[in-house]
Amino acid sequence: MINSLVPLPIVVPLLAAALTIVFAKFRVVQQLIALASLASIVAVSVALLAQADDESVVIMDAGGWAAPLGVTYVVDRLSAIMLVTSSIMLLVVLVYAIGQRGSEATHPAFSPIYLVLAAGVSASFITGDMFNLFVAFEMMLAASYVLLTLGGRPDQVRSGMTYVVISLVASALFITALALLYSATGTVNMADLAERIPELSSGVRTGFSLLLILVFGIKAGLFPLFFWLPDSYPTAPGPVTAIFAGLLTKVGVYAIIRTQTLLFAPDSQQGTALLIIGGLTMLVGVLGALAQDDLKRLLSFHIIGQIGYMIFGLGLFTVAGVSAVVFYIVQTILVKTNLFLVAGLIDRHAGSSRLSRVGGLVRSAPVIAFCFAVPALSLAGLPPSSGFAGKFALISAGLDAEQWLIVSVALLVSLLTLYSMTKIWAAVFWGDPEVEPVQVEGRTGAGPSLMVAATMATVALSIAFVIFAGPIYELAERAGNDLTNPAVYIDAVLGADR
């Protein structure tokens, strides 16, 4: 039965991680095991998506214990979409890391830790209770701290410490929220919580809603909780930065979407708070990006700005708004991963990621220029890119809801993002470096073939996203309908005849 496939995105990477430890002295064997496990997860995720789209929700009760007593794994359309997207990106970035042939590929800890991270990401998407969501976040925290500091450079350790301290604060708040939720309702099962939280007073419900936004907002990099992100990501190894930029903040956004739509009935105060947070996050992200000279740091600020768009769509609490968020989050994962992979190629080719030290790559490395141009247009939202379709859906939803101010902010931020991408193109690809570039011996052309192939794969996926934007949006719309009608999820988990 398809239900038996549900835990595999967690189990397979963990078993593969254990197996790679056994073969720690054989790097090629480690890499083959990691590649095979992630490729199998892509296949499993696609099968789960097909089934979830057919049935709306796929359930697996661990040990045969039914919810809310047992541990339940739930795959609905949203979690299935996130599983497919994340598993593909994890596989692509692993190929890139192997091609880079740096400390990422040769360190014996890289493959097992990377697989633990993959298991944590998958667990976040398919868990059916809040405590297991906490466990999944802790798996990602432990793995991500090791990956951030891999190489042991002082700046990596310093930035990694900032990241881990902030994450531990978020974890402490999360476990406190769980204790309070259990004290107030007697359960941590999400479907059961969705039925019991409405019985609480309005003030308590609002408090829980804001507390969870705070917890997951730290993970997602929302305003004003984003300050750790631009310092932590640029110092990490290239492949690690790419997967963090593409996925980890989106896990936080997923948790916000899941809890705010399932556990709390939408109200005007909740929506207004999210719209304000979304607008400020967009503005801070793009303004911070404009002030940067380092490419990786600039792109890190754009992560923050794009998260703001997602919170804007969620804050509308309409089918159109939530559907646009689901559509946009997939597109953003592809684009941000692509841009950071390109940043790694630029750093390798030119010996620096500072805009003032790089120039003329459109002539010396046209493949890198092409790989940057496609996601840059998408990030700015220019037609016919995938970003245009996502932003158009969000803007249309905002106009339908008559939220003129946040729509104006979104349009302004989109224009500033276009200016930022133009700034990068003029400095890195078109112009000449302002200072003498660092000459890196032995690094010519676009880069090692596997690195280029992985980057080109993300470009191809972005182009395919445009070609199949219609069917993808229809799938996102079905997911949006489920999210705005939580009874579908609740009935599937607890049983319609309870």
Question: Low-confidence residues of the chain, pLDDT below 50?
Answer: 437-444
116 vs 412: CA distance, rounded Å: 39
In a domain, residue 448? The reply is: yes
Note the pLDDT of residue 117. Answer: 94
Q: Name the helix (H) or strand (E) containing 492.
A: helix 487-494
In a domain, residue 400? The reply is: yes
245 vs 301: CA distance, rounded Å: 10
Q: Provide the domain limits for residue 306.
A: 267-467
**Any bridge partners for residue 74, and if so which?**
59
What ranges in 101-186 are assigned the alpha helix state H? Answer: 103-106, 110-126, 130-148, 154-185
279 vs 494: CA distance, rounded Å: 37
> Can you say whether the dihedral through the CA atoms of 318, 324, 330, 335 is positive or negative?
negative
CA-closest candidate to residue 300, choices 373, 361, 240, 370: 240
Note the pLDDT of residue 437. Answer: 45
In a domain, residue 1? The reply is: no
pLDDT single digits (tens) 212-245: 999 999 888 888 888 778 877 777 777 888 888 8
In a domain, residue 356? The reply is: yes
In a domain, residue 349? The reply is: yes
Q: Give pTM, 2 decimals.
A: 0.91
Note the pLDDT of residue 18. Answer: 94
Note the pLDDT of residue 267. Answer: 75
In a domain, residue 402? The reply is: yes
In a domain, residue 6? The reply is: no
Distance of CA 427 to the CA centre of its chain: 28
Domain count of the chain?
A: 1
Note the pLDDT of residue 156. Answer: 67
pLDDT single digits (tens) 19-41: 999 988 888 899 899 999 999 99
300 vs 229: CA distance, rounded Å: 7
Could you give the C-alpha distances from 79 to 82, 185, 224, in angstroms and in order? 5, 25, 27
In a domain, residue 474? The reply is: no
> Can you say whether the dihedral through the CA atoms of 12, 14, 15, 20 is positive or negative?
positive
